[in-house]
Structure 1
Amino acid sequence: MNVRKNKPVIGISIGDINGIGAEVTMKALQDSRLQKMITPVIYGHGKAITYYRKTLEMNDFNFMQVRSIEEIHHKKTNVINVVQDSPEVNPGVETREAGKMALAALDQAIVDLKAGHLDALVTAPLNKNNINTEETPFIGHTEYLTEAFEAGKSLMFMVSEDMRIGLVTGHLPLREVVSSINAETIKEKLKIMLKSLKQDFGIAKPKIAVLGVNPHAGEDGLLGSEEREIIEPMVKEFKDKGNLIFGPYPADGFFGMMHQKKFDGVLAMYHDQGLVPFKTVSFDSGVNYTAGLPIIRTSPDHGTAYNIAGKNCAEAGSMRAAIYLAHDIIKRKNDWGPEN
């Protein structure tokens, strides 16, 4: 990876231009500290940025439009047009055109990541519905990037100052969750989490809590056997190897007693089990980090928020945190060295 000392290049895919992606990106990049720390490259379109600069009265937001990554200026915010035609911006409206542009932005960022021109990618929120088609299946950034970089397995890792929560299963219908939870999957996710906590977050001996999948963690088999037959043996296997892995814990009592504060990471079994407590505590500052990829990808933990798009009331805290986390992981990985 082409890491530039003290000045990493971070790509930002604009997401759905009719949502709040452009607004939170522009607001985050107004942080003067960030401008000194990184070279931002927005993958989107200059017309969309200009539209929001005018609509949001952000006249002091300046950017330079470039044709490709090779032309970027390291003291400016750069914008690369990912579509030839000027896009129609309709805040709060779901359109197929916006979906095509969001995917084009992501695809171009992936090309530049693979070529080593970017040190990390921050993805602004998009709408899966106006991207997903039979020709282009799309269920989420995590899955799309995992396939694009042939990572096999990755971990959706929600990160804030208060907690770090990884998911065994991600964007799955609830009826498919239990059948997808098995010893091999839990083992893979725990390995990714352990490695990420060590290398990405600099924690030498991570302490991880594993949640159960059933109410009350199965109640000794009364409410389900997955804990006793799958999760407990896997936890024991990791502990026997010297890892600080504990559980399975009942999710309600675990978060109700704020036990997440005692651990470096928490492994939840399914999406809402982990995301509900995370967003309750960290909605304005949480970051979605995809662990297990050969590249660094972060994202704010919210969606397109069509209902407030273009109204100048979107909070940029989560986007700002996503950019800062990307920068911190770049720096830590660079210090870590390639042999690790």
Structure 2
Amino acid sequence: MEENGNIKLGISIGDLNGIGCEVVLKTFEDSRMLDFCTPIIFASNKTISGQQKALNISIPFNGVHEASKAVDGKLNIVNVWKQVPEIQFGQATKEGGDFALQSLKAAVAALKNGDIDVLVTAPINKNNIQAEDFKFPGHTDYLAQELEGESLMFMVTDDLKIGLLTDHVAVKDVASAIIPRLIRDKVNTIEKSLKMDFGIQKPKIALLGINPHSGDNGVIGNEDEEVLKPVIKEMANNGHLVFGPYSADSFFGSDNYKNFDAVLAAYHDQGLIPFKTLSFGRGVNFTAGLNKVRTSPDHGTAYEIAGKGQADHSSFKEAVFMAIKIFRNRTEYLKLTENVLKKQRIKRER
């Protein structure tokens, strides 16, 4: 981002046969969005033109060969491929996965090079995107490999934030995957993100139990007693504001979550079911803990409504705004931290 310039917001287009293009185009139909960022879609001019025609959406755009040539005040398209993909709305095709991967790889390369400031990813199909160089259960794991840091799947709105100890892990493997080091790492990552990305100086974090009723003192499994509780106690003694484990079945219905800045769920559905119930359409999936900012909407490809013009773009729009907000917060935090360290260094040298 140039000084006083727009944030350069990269967009990987996702599965072309899903609702990804639709929610992206609907978001930037409102030209006021161009006041907040410079959007850069990684696809091709002909692909986006074809999608616009199929969806009866008309937005002027600017085609470029690389993200660094993007123009402020316009919707920019980086031409990643020359082919014209066949649009088969609602179908999980190999071609759809291939182009989704090309878009993602080009966008991540631009993110790593600094040609874009943040990345917002449209939904992929986790099956048809699989390839020799993409053997991951989703975006989060791929980005953890490509970018520096400790990744955390963090579902966020302004008033609800839920992180996951384990994300795309089979339920039968959850208990064995949760070990003391993992708990410490995820708590540290979520705590750092709350401070750096959301401006919360002393974050309070709640951990949900692994078993029903957090194990009922060992009656329903020993993991909560033997693994979770000792680590929570240890971290609390070391100054972290971590609490729990709380019984997941009553934690949200009782509004207890409102007493904390973030919640750390033991596994995917334990965190995402209440999150999507409470905030569907407003929620954002943020990959916390990495050296770059990536967000996405809280829904998938939605093949059942693809191509029908029915997709709600609210979550994608929120993902755009959240990426901008986090980038600004993080830039300010790092600047303040740098100034503090500089003052400390000068003081020592005197």
TM superposition score normalised by structure 2: 0.93
Q: Which residue number in structure 1 is paired with residue 30 of structure 2?
A: 31
Q: Which residue number in structure 2 is paired with residue 166 of structure 1?
A: 163
Q: Does 1:85 align with 2:83?
A: yes
Change (3 A) 1:71 1:48: same
Q: Distance in 2 between matches of 1:149 and 1:292?
A: 10
Q: Which residue number in structure 1 is paired with residue 13 of structure 2?
A: 14
1:296-315 equivalence runs, <5 A: 296-315=293-312
Q: Distance in 2 between matches of 1:4 and 1:179?
A: 48
Q: Which residue number in structure 2 is paired with residue 269 of structure 1?
A: 266
2:190 to 193, 203, 207: 193
Measured after TM superposition, the shift of residue 119 of structure 1 is 0.6
Measured after TM superposition, the shift of residue 48 of structure 1 is 2.5
Uncovered stretches (5+) of structure 1, i.e. residues with no partner: none
Q: Distance in 2 between matches of 1:110 and 1:157?
A: 19
Q: Distance in 1 between matches of 2:134 and 2:187?
A: 31
Equivalent residue of 2:245, what SS? strand
Uncovered stretches (5+) of structure 2, i.e. residues with no partner: 339-350
Measured after TM superposition, the shift of residue 238 of structure 1 is 1.8
Change (3 A) 1:309 1:181: same
Q: Distance in 1 between matches of 2:82 and 2:53?
A: 22
Measured after TM superposition, the shift of residue 68 of structure 1 is 1.1
Change (3 A) 1:69 1:182: same
Measured after TM superposition, the shift of residue 253 of structure 1 is 0.9
Q: Distance in 1 between matches of 2:217 and 2:264?
A: 20
Measured after TM superposition, the shift of residue 3 of structure 1 is 5.4
Q: Which residue number in structure 2 is paired with residue 66 of structure 1?
A: 64
Q: CA RMSD in A?
A: 1.4
Q: Which residue number in structure 2 is paired with residue 210 of structure 1?
A: 207
Change (3 A) 1:133 1:6: closer
Measured after TM superposition, the shift of residue 51 of structure 1 is 2.0
TM superposition score normalised by structure 1: 0.96
* Structure with max Cα Rg: 2
2:100 to 86, 99, 102: 102
Measured after TM superposition, the shift of residue 233 of structure 1 is 1.2
Equivalent residue of 2:252, what SS? helix
CA offset digits 1:263-291 (Å, max 9, x no partner): 11000000000001111111111000000
Q: Distance in 2 between matches of 1:168 and 1:87?
A: 38
Which stretch shows the higher mean deviation, 126-135 or 292-301?
126-135
The alignment covers a number of residue pairs equal to 337
Measured after TM superposition, the shift of residue 177 of structure 1 is 0.7
Share of identical aligned residues, percent?
47
Q: Which residue number in structure 2 is paired with residue 179 of structure 1?
A: 176
Partners of 1:162 and 1:282 within 8 A in 2: no
Partners of 2:134 and 2:142 within 8 A in 1: no
Q: Does 1:293 align with 2:273?
A: no
Partners of 1:82 and 1:101 within 8 A in 2: no
Q: Distance in 2 between matches of 1:67 and 1:86?
A: 16
CA offset digits 1:230-287 (Å, max 9, x no partner): 1111111221122221100000010121211111100000000000111111111100
Partners of 1:3 and 1:334 within 8 A in 2: no
Q: Distance in 2 between matches of 1:200 and 1:139?
A: 25
Q: Which residue number in structure 1 is paired with residue 153 of structure 2?
A: 156
Measured after TM superposition, the shift of residue 196 of structure 1 is 0.2
Q: Which residue number in structure 1 is paired with residue 347 of structure 2?
A: none
In structure 2, give the amino acid aligned to 1:44. Answer: A
CA offset digits 1:3-28 (Å, max 9, x no partner): 54351101000000100000001111
Change (3 A) 1:18 1:335: same
Measured after TM superposition, the shift of residue 83 of structure 1 is 1.8
Change (3 A) 1:53 1:113: same
Q: Distance in 2 between matches of 1:200 and 1:169?
A: 21
Q: Distance in 1 between matches of 2:63 and 2:199?
A: 36
Change (3 A) 1:4 1:298: farther
Equivalent residue of 2:39, what SS? strand
Measured after TM superposition, the shift of residue 329 of structure 1 is 0.9
Change (3 A) 1:242 1:150: closer
Change (3 A) 1:244 1:148: same
Q: Distance in 2 between matches of 1:283 and 1:41?
A: 26
In structure 1, give the amino acid aligned to 2:175. Answer: V
Which stretch shows the higher mean deviation, 329-338 or 173-182?
329-338
Q: Which residue number in structure 2 is paired with residue 49 of structure 1?
A: 48
Q: Distance in 2 between matches of 1:124 and 1:250?
A: 33
Change (3 A) 1:175 1:217: same
CA offset digits 1:79-98 (Å, max 9, x no partner): 11222211111111111111
